[in-house]
Amino acid sequence: MYLGIDLGTSEVKALVIDECGQTIATHSVPLVIERPYPNWAEQHPQDWWTATNNLISVLREKCVQHWSAIKSIGISGQMHGAVLLDQGDNIIRPAILWNDTRSYAECKELEAAAPSLHEIAGNLAMPGLTAPKLMWVRKHEPDNFSRVKTVLLPKDYLRLKMTGRKISDMSDAAGTLWLDVAKRDWSDDLLDKCDLTRSHMPELIEGCDISASLSKEVAQNWGLNSSVVVAGGGGDNAVSAIGIGAVEPGDAFISLGTSGVLFVVNDQYRPAPQSAVHTFCHVLPHRWHQMSVMLSAASCLQWFCRIVGVTETELLSEIENISDEDRAHAPLFLPYLSGERTPHNDPMATGTFYHLTHSTHRALLGYAVLEGVSFGIADGLHALQNSGTHIKSCSLVGGGARSPYWAQLLADILTLPIVTHKGGETGGALGAARLACLATGTSVADVCHKPEVDHTYQPGKKRHTMLQHRYSRFKALYQHDVTLRASR
């Protein structure tokens, strides 16, 4: 048996698979984001560990007959978060998350201080990434910065609690702006720009390799053998790629979770920072990947449902009954509730409903939300295409993959076949469990097959024409918003 743990933004999820890759049990525990000030997003690392232990207790009961057969553990996690530890490995302050945009000014400072940043790190300096967060702490919390002995990424804090070892993998480390992504090693030059050295960083390994064994205390508390090993693991999207079988060049998927990601596998380092495309290491050796990233995706739908007091299931049912004529005249929605990355790199962008009338009802607004997020994915697709990357079809994973309506809408907008898979909603946890299996010596070919196809959504030409007209207006609305903000 193999256990996968996925530390997300809104929940910690775990999954157990057997040696044939069949899912035995799953469970999740919710997490809360704290937003004490505008543009801030934080979580307490101890809450991750508490949630993980609660999760293990329930999962252990669910598969009690198989629990002792667990041989290894894989871990996946939200990327870019800054976990700051002191000399005694005590948490200095709450973790600053990937969707925190307070360090906008520090991004400009880093770009100016490190002319080689784009070449080495393969990415623009963005507030969501880790390095600008440390520069913000250095400037605004100097006492805290002076105490920093170690900087860990979220899932690597879980590893520290599980094994006592400070280790990260290439895919997650690539999102810090401190990694030489081509060489798959820390960059002394980029660390120096943040007044840090290699001594502040964890050891690096590949995501499919063994990182350490469970500590005796944790193994005892979890009812596992202390010989259980922990795989290197990876950032959530790269691990989801393992779960969906995206391991060969050209394999692609869309993840509609808290954020929205379009992910493509490459067999070489292909940076494209000019279009705000991310270029990171994959969790497999000799593999890289490109990503377009929007900061708010399925979270936009959750936000709207919370505002109007309706469940997602109820709202989606209402949306499905809207006529084509009403869709053509629905409001437009800019999905930038947390700013935006690809292609705008605009942390100050905000959400907008446009073209409201007395006849606007909540189903039309809900449709606008789905469409606006899909248009944001289209922006990312065009950025990837402009960098020379071409995609023939996309798998769809994440919470949004549960909606056939949304899947068809994406196919119509992107003019790409969209493929959903059975069990695709557990992509991150499944990928982590598969990495656990790889770490014990099983081959990629035997482990990383694509899950069974549930449905393929083909693009419709008639609806695409209407959607392209609305997409043009969507892009113009964002530019108008930029102009308005500049005039304030």
> Is 201 assigned a ligand-binding role in the annotation?
no
Torsion angle defined by CA atoms of residues 213, 216, 220 and 224, in that order, rounded to the nearest 10 degrees: 20
Contact 363, 404 (CB under 8 A): no
Cα separation, 131 vs 127, whole angstroms: 9
126 labeled binding residue: no
Burial class (CB in 10 A: 0-12, 13-18, 19+), 307: exposed
Distance separating alpha carbons of residues 384 and 412, to the nearest angstrom: 18
As a whole number of angstroms, the distance between CA 149 and CA 92 comes to 10
Angle at 288 between CA 286 and CA 294, to 5 degrees: 165
What are the backbone dihedrals phi and psi of residue 293, each rounded to the nearest 5 degrees, phi first?
-130, 125
What is the number of residues in the chain? 488
CB 3 within 8 A of CB 73: yes
Helix axes 404-414 and 362-386, enclosed angle (nearest 10): 40
Q: Give 358's contacts (C-beta < 8 A, 6+ positions apart).
A: none
Active site residues: 236
4, two tokens: 């996968």
The burial of 39, by beta-carbon neighbours within 10 Å (0-12 exposed, 13-18 middle, 19 or more buried), is given as middle
**Nearest-angstrom CA–CA distance, 295 and 42:** 15
Among 462, 467, 479, residue whose Cα is nearest residue 375: 467
Q: In 3-state terms, the chain is what percent helix, strand and coil (to 5)?
A: 40, 20, 35
Contact 17, 5 (CB under 8 A): no
Least Cα distance to 128 among 175, 179, 86, 62 occurs for 175
Q: Work out the end-to-end distance of the chain between its first and last CA atoms, rounded to an integer number of angstroms.
A: 58
Amino acid residing at 210:
I
Please, which residues bridge with residue 34 across strands? 42
Tell me the chain's radius of gyration from C-alpha atoms. Answer: 22
List, as residue ranges, the binding site for substrate: 79-80
List, as residue ranges, the binding site: 79-80
